[in-house]
Structure 1
Amino acid sequence: MDEVQVNQILQNPKFKEMVSRKSKLSWTLTVIMLVVYVGFMLLVGYNKEFLMTSFSGGVTTIGMPLGLSIIVLSFVLCGVYSYIANNKLDALNEEAIREVEAIAHEKGHH
């Protein structure tokens, strides 16, 4: 791929849409994770008693499954990002590349 094709891809509306959507998706998921994590840290700092409360007089406190759920959430959000990026956004990228290759072949570049 030469520099002209690279510039055509970068200027392609579908490629720009893909970059924009991928950026919005990653920032949205990042904000979700930050809000949950910071919320948990604030809970640890300001309401330890709540986190130390036992479910039914047993050993397991509310803080344990809450902390574990934050770890699980991070894996779920990674899965969501991968699914959307692979099934929705990559198609836009491939369309942009195909359009640019078609233009290059019409102009006689191989």
Structure 2
Amino acid sequence: MSPTETEKCLNHPKFKELTRARRRFGLVFSLIIAVGYAIYVLGMSFAPGFMSQSPGSGSMTYGIIIGVLVIISGMVCSGIYTWWANRYFDVLNGELRKELGHE
């Protein structure tokens, strides 16, 4: 793209909406994952007794359960982000490309 085309794209309202939405959405999911991992690490550091306890008579511990839940929550967040990106961001991107004549 030429500098004028780049400028036109950067100043387009749909481009601004797209980048703002992606930034906000990505930040929210990044924080969710970071908080989950932080809670897990802090739990292992400051509550090792609790994390090593078994909720039942088996060998499964709270630490393992919480760790698996953190991993699953990461997968769920990734899936939601991908679904949302395909449903919303790709549509906005297509509209923007069409309006700028790049389709």
TM-score under structure 2 normalisation? 0.89
Distance, in Å, in 1 between the alignment partners of 2:98 and 2:2 is 15
Structure showing greater relative contact order (alpha-carbon pairs closer than 8 Å, 6 or more residues apart): 1
Question: Runs in 1 of length 4+ with deviation above 3 angstroms?
Answer: none
AA at the equivalent of 2:17: E
Give the deviation of 1:77 after TM superposition: 1.1
Structure 2, unmatched stretches of 5+, are: none
Distance, in Å, in 2 between the alignment partners of 1:21 and 1:12 is 14
Give the deviation of 1:3 after TM superposition: 3.4
Please tell me whether residue 99 in structure 1 is matched to residue 82 in structure 2. no
Count of matched residue positions in the alignment of Structure 1 and Structure 2: 102
AA at the equivalent of 1:11: N
- Which structure's CA Rg is the greater one? 1
Would you say the 8 A contact 1:53–1:62 is kept in 2?
A: yes
Structure 1 vs Structure 2 CA RMSD: 1.5
Give the deviation of 1:4 after TM superposition: 2.6
Distance, in Å, in 2 between the alignment partners of 1:84 and 1:35 is 21
TM-score under structure 1 normalisation? 0.84
Q: Percent identity, aligned pairs only?
A: 27
Give the equivalent residue in structure 2 for 1:66. 66
Give the equivalent residue in structure 2 for 1:3. 3
SS at match of 1:54: coil
Give the equivalent residue in structure 1 for 2:34. 34
Give the deviation of 1:28 after TM superposition: 0.5
